[in-house]
Amino acid sequence: MNRLLSASLVFVLVASLVGCGGESDDLVIYSGRSKALVDSLVTMYEEEEDVSVRVKYGSDAQLLAALQEEGSQSPADVFWANTTGALGNAVDNDLLAELPSSVTEKPQRFLPSNQRWTPVTTRFRVLAYNSDTVNPDDLPDTVKNLPRLQDVEGRMGWTPAYSSFQDFVTAMRVSEGTDTTRAWLRGMKDLNPKSYTSNTPMIRALAAGEIDMALTNHYYVLRLKHGGAEGEYEGDEEEEEEHEEEEEDVQDSAPVETYRFAEGDLGNLALVTGAGVLQTSNQSEEAQQFLQFLLSETAQSYAANRVNEYPVVSGTEVPNYMVPVDSALALSPEFDFQRLQEMDPTLDLLRDAGLL
């Protein structure tokens, strides 16, 4: 796997996870999703089912490395990932058990053919722009034509090292081919874009007029203007607490808007989060019950309101400031999202372009 920690850091993470204490009958969740989202849902679940749950946080890559290192001795029952690529890697390494129909019948979209994990929420790629400096009528119908916008030279933002951007590039490579994707990356690089380590500071720079547009996920704009927390685990406990505090800095009048490309364009790509039950779990029924809770109206609605992500269970309402679910889905391209695990060639492209 390509985005793993060094061996020494993996050892430290594994040691902390295995030696974390707690009772043997606790349900143990390994989460690549954030404390801001997960802790509240876990508390709801504990109160509803009168059970005890322990959560260990890390990036998807960190947790996958730990699971592989732990093997049959892993205390984990559930792997709740931020990306389908991580879930695909878990399937390839035979870490996840097949789920029963009581779980797989609930989501109406994005269920993998192997039925080893269930989708939980969806995010969408978008182009965010500063409405004081950009006329949306001047923007292209396809993300592939962004390199033609010579007027924004030095005024474009992107996040080459971030997982969602790499998922988008992977989708372009799979759909359009390596040569086309390489040419797109080179064309974008010729615009002298500003690289950011994560999306939150990039969107703040957009609001401050430091850049004119940025490739991002839809919810970062919503967080800025309507509040909400980060859904992805982004660091240690101290950094996670900082992210929770950031949600209070709402700028409802910020000149930041969301642009969506033409229907079916890769620039509107849906990115799915999901969860599965570990093969090594000795509490598979309890773990499946937790997945059913994640697909309940309570949990789906909470995720929509807490982190501005889209539900995968039909009939769940989203805040009125969000594009309706069906409309967002209609804009996203048809794509085999399970292929997002094919990350190595994408990372090679990004390295060759000098972006990593």
pLDDT tens for the chain, 356 residues long, are: 444 444 344 434 444 444 344 446 899 999 999 999 999 999 999 999 999 999 999 999 999 999 999 999 999 999 999 999 999 999 999 999 999 999 999 998 899 999 999 999 999 999 999 999 999 999 999 999 999 999 999 999 999 999 999 999 999 999 999 999 999 999 999 999 999 999 999 999 999 999 999 999 999 999 999 999 989 887 655 444 554 445 557 899 999 999 999 999 999 999 999 999 999 999 999 999 999 999 999 999 999 999 999 999 999 999 999 999 999 999 999 999 989 999 999 999 999 999 99
Give the whole-angstrom CA distance, residue 62 versus residue 57.
Answer: 9
Q: Where are the domains of the chain?
A: 7-121+272-320, 123-269+341-352
Token reading at 83: 């990306």
Pick the CATH number of 123-269+341-352 from 3.40.190.10, 1.10.10.60, 3.40.1190.20, 3.50.50.60: 3.40.190.10
Class of the 7-121+272-320 domain? alpha beta
Rounded Cα–Cα distance for residues 245 and 243 (Å): 5
Domains 7-121+272-320 and 123-269+341-352 share a fold: yes
Contacts of residue 261, defined as CB under 8 A and 6 or more positions apart, other chains included, come to 127, 140, 141, 142, 143, 267, 268, 331
Separation CA 41–CA 71 (nearest Å): 27
